[in-house]
């Protein structure tokens, strides 16, 4: 079901005390919220953070990654079934940092998508282009191929568990944001790609989030666009005031 979602992707930031304090602070500032709020802390605090969120129907947690293997001798890896056993709702997959620094391919991501769904975890699937790709005009095809190759083997019912996050790589951690019309153009395109495969209804029900230097000062403008259903927030999610301000941009 399409809904407004704001996800805080903490990446490899914050120690234990800071993490728990941040969650406590954000929760205390959210009253009668009509936006789904998701924390994606480090694996190490995921269990505790998830416990802190269980009383609130609109606050959930996400894992930033999972192994592409089901289980077994893979030292240092964390499986989808382990994450599911914590009561976590979402898995973030395909973040550009995972694609770039850990060489994750569309095929790897397809495997991870399947493992997530078979363990009852919903997927926040990231896609997006580099500046070079945008400048050379291949960004539409690039984004389409990311979606097609990792997601379009899913049934309609399975696809309903997918949230898409459009994250232009050139806007991540740079302070440069896609303008609301640049973002809306891609979001509308992504919705049309989904519609071509699964039909209008599935497409209209898919939440598509924007990520890339989304901050309190631009969130309202971005979220006002028809096809932008929320945000995947990096830097600004590490501060309770700025994260909550972004969440409240819907109100
Ligand atoms: P920033 O908000 O820090 O640009 O990060 C975006 C992002 O990568 C979220 O996953």
Q: Which of 129, 167, 184, 187 is catalytic?
A: 167
Say what the pLDDT of residue 122 is: 98
For residue 165, give the ligand 1 atom closest to its CA.
10
Q: Which residue has tokens 């890339």?
A: 212
Say what the pLDDT of residue 251 is: 65
182: CB partners within 8 A, 6+ apart: 168
Say what the pLDDT of residue 32 is: 66
Is there a catalytic annotation at residue 167?
Answer: yes
For residue 96, give the ligand 1 atom closest to its CA.
8
Domains observed in the chain: 5-250 (3.20.20.70)
**Cβ of 231 below 6 Å from ligand 1:** no
pTM, 2 dp:
0.97
For residue 65, pLDDT beyond 70: yes
Q: What's the CA-to-centroid distance between 172 and ligand 1, angstroms?
A: 5
pLDDT, tens digit, for every residue of 2-18? Answer: 999 999 999 999 999 99
Pick the residue whose CA is nearest to atom 5 on ligand 1. 234
141: CB partners within 8 A, 6+ apart: none
For residue 235, give the ligand 1 atom closest to its CA.
3
**Cβ of 169 below 6 Å from ligand 1:** no
Reduce the DSSP state of residue 72 to 3 states and report it.
coil
Query: At 37, phi and psi to the nearest 5?
Result: -115, 135
pLDDT, average across residues 37-65: 96
pLDDT, average across residues 125-134: 96
C-alpha–C-alpha distance, residues 191 and 164, integer Å: 10
Higher pLDDT, 62 or 31: 62
For the ranges 29-38, 62-71, 191-200, 227-236, which has the lowest average pLDDT? 29-38
Is there a catalytic annotation at residue 95?
Answer: yes
For residue 33, pLDDT beyond 80: no
Mutation choice for ligand 1 from 14, 233, 242, CB with most ligand atoms inside 8 A: 233
Question: How far separated are the first and last CA of the chain, in Å rounded?
Answer: 20
**Cβ of 128 below 6 Å from ligand 1:** no
Q: Which of 36, 60, 84, 95 is catalytic?
A: 95
pLDDT, tens digit, for every residue of 142-190? Answer: 999 999 999 999 999 999 999 999 999 999 888 888 899 999 999 999 9
For residue 214, give the ligand 1 atom closest to its CA.
2
Round the average pLDDT of the chain to a whole number and report it.
96
**Cβ of 93 below 6 Å from ligand 1:** no
**Cβ of 235 below 6 Å from ligand 1:** yes
pLDDT > 70: what percent of the chain? 99
C-alpha–C-alpha distance, residues 119 and 93, integer Å: 14
**Cβ of 94 below 6 Å from ligand 1:** no
Neighbours of 103 (CB within 10 A): 8
pLDDT, tens digit, for every residue of 144-156? Answer: 999 999 999 999 9
């Amino acid at each position: 079901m399409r809904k407004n979602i704001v996800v805080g992707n903490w990446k490899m930031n914050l120690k234990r005390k800071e993490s728990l304090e941040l969650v406590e602070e954000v929760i205390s500032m959210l009253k009668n919220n009509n936006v789904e709020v998701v924390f994606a802390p480090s694996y190490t605090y995921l269990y505790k953070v998830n416990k802190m969120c269980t009383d609130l129907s609109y606050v959930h947690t996400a894992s930033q990654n999972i192994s592409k293997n089901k289980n077994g001798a893979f030292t240092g890896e964390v499986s989808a079934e382990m994450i599911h056993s914590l009561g976590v709702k979402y898995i973030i997959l395909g973040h550009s940092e995972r694609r770039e620094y850990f060489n994750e391919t569309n095929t790897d991501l397809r495997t991870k998508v399947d493992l997530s769904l078979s363990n009852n975890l919903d997927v926040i699937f990231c896609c997006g282009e580099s500046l070079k790709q945008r400048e050379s005009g291949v960004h539409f095809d690039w984004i389409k191929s990311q979606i097609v190759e990792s997601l379009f083997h899913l049934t309609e019912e399975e696809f309903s568990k997918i949230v898409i996050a459009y994250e232009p790589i050139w806007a991540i951690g740079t302070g440069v944001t896609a303008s609301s019309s640049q973002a809306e153009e891609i979001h509308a395109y992504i919705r049309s790609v989904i519609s071509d495969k699964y039909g209008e209804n599935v497409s209209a029900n898919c939440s598509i989030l924007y990520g890339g230097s989304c901050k309190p000062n631009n969130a309202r403008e971005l979220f006002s666009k028809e096809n932008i259903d929320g945000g995947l927030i990096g830097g600004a999610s590490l501060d309770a005031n700025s994260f909550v301000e972004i969440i409240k941009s819907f109100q």
